[in-house]
Amino acid sequence: MSKHRSFYLALALIAMLVVASAAHADRLKDLADVEGVRANQLIGYGLVVGLDGTGDQTSQARFTVQSLKSLLTQLGVTIPPDVNPQLKNVAAVAVHAELPAFAKPGQTIDITVSSLANAGSLRGGSLLMTPLKGPDGQVYAMAQGSLVVGGFGVSGRDGSRVSVNVPSAGRIPGGAIVERAVASTTDPGDHITLNLHSADFTTAARITESLNAVYGAGTAEALDAVSVRVAAPRDASRRVRFMAELETMEVDPGQAAARVVVNSRTGTIVIGSNVRVSPAAVAHGSLSVTISESFGVSQPNAFSDGETVVVPESRIRVEEEDSRMFLFDPGVTLSDLVRAVNEVGAAPGDLIAILEALKRVGALRAELVVI
């Protein structure tokens, strides 16, 4: 099986999975979030120690030395101002994490550690105690632990380097302990608001109908394409049970908008299940022009007054592949489009050009998004 054929078969499989998933109801917890129940971003600055000579080059990253001196001073170790330690096993890093909703003091969260300066690798290092702050400047967690780095790098004295993945960043599972809880922003009143992950009037209307059918008319009200307002008990215990029931309720979401997403850099193409093509004829082929340059020598006859000169010679060859034209009938579906393009042997880049041409002539009944 050719590479291109495998590509389009995989594309068709994705489309069939999208169609199959659209035919089944989804849980409400997979379609919407409760307004006010959200995570919060945390960030901090720290030092990673214990590296095997792959730390920051202190001649270029002086703030690493400054940070280490400040840390040692807090621990009772004083370094004279005129002493500049040559560090190879220390790296300055940025630490960031996501504090989940309802996180309580004593719980742990995962953190990501990334090099700030010119450290070659963080592999084998340990993060020293680092406070993680929120946008308000308050400390919400303390991070510390040994890094897990998925990549590694090897360099030679001549400047050559081999790197696998990204060794300058790593993670520490459960590497931060929550020190402060974030106050809940949910409204303790008589209603809660469900916000859909994707704006869709059909889905909002169906959620409203389902809730009113189960809990009675007037329980739910669709405010717009995103928000659905639901009457809820004020008592905390009853509200938790009510929210548990809402999460497991199944709703048939509206069909996704017809959309084609193209990544022109990698040749990745994702086509939604509702994409249609109106009547159009497409011809596919390629023209290659090869120009080769060479030089010849013009030698004059004997006993003549001519001079020997170098004469350039150009050869131009034009090759045109056999092109085919295929016709799209009214209402052509995604599978028909993939099959037609596959039959002419078009590459992913050619399919991108075909889609753009169909969109330009108004034959592509979908939104074309190029990223």
| pLDDT tens-digit map of 129-166 | 999 999 999 999 999 999 999 866 655 555 555 666 67
Q: What is the pLDDT of residue 183?
A: 78
Q: Does 238 lie in the same domain as 167?
A: no
Which of 123-142 are b and which e, b meaning 16 or more Cβ less than 10 Å from the residue's Cβ? bbbebbebbbebeeeeebbe
DSSP 8-state symbol, 148: B
194 membership: H or E segment, kind and range: strand 191-196
DSSP 8-state symbol, 179: -
Q: What is the pLDDT of residues 254-296, one digit of tens each?
A: 887 777 777 766 667 777 777 777 776 666 565 455 555 566 6
Q: Does 77 lie in the same domain as 155?
A: yes
Which residues in the chain come in under a pLDDT of 70? Answer: 1-24, 58-60, 151-165, 185-188, 264-267, 280-299, 301-306, 310-350
Q: Does 76 lie in the same domain as 45?
A: yes
Q: What is the pLDDT of residue 290?
A: 57
Q: Which of 124, 156, 178 is the last residue of a domain?
A: 178
Q: Does 77 lie in the same domain as 172?
A: yes
Q: Does 284 lie in the same domain as 216?
A: no
pLDDT > 90 fraction of the chain, expressed in percent and rounded: 32
Q: Does 19 lie in the same domain as 76?
A: no
Largest CA distance in the chain: 117
pTM above 0.85, yes or no: no
Q: Does 173 lie in the same domain as 60?
A: yes
Structure tokens at 362: 């108004």
Q: Which of 137, 157, 178 is the last residue of a domain?
A: 178
In terms of residue numbers, what domain contains 160? 40-178
Q: Does 265 lie in the same domain as 241?
A: no
Question: Among candidates 342, 292, 339, which has minimal Cα distance to 313?
Answer: 292
SS3 209: helix
Q: What is the pLDDT of residue 164?
A: 63
Q: Does 157 lie in the same domain as 229?
A: no
Q: Does 280 lie in the same domain as 226?
A: no
Q: Which of 202, 232, 251 is the last residue of a domain?
A: 251
Helix pair angle (334-343, 348-360), 10° resolution? 130
Q: What is the pLDDT of residue 9?
A: 46
Q: Does 32 lie in the same domain as 56?
A: no
Q: Does 320 lie in the same domain as 216?
A: no
293 membership: H or E segment, kind and range: strand 287-298
Which of 14-38 are b and which e, b meaning 16 or more Cβ less than 10 Å from the residue's Cβ? bbeebbeebeeebebeebbebbeee
Q: What is the pLDDT of residue 286?
A: 56
Looking at the 3D structure of the chain, how many domains does it have? 3
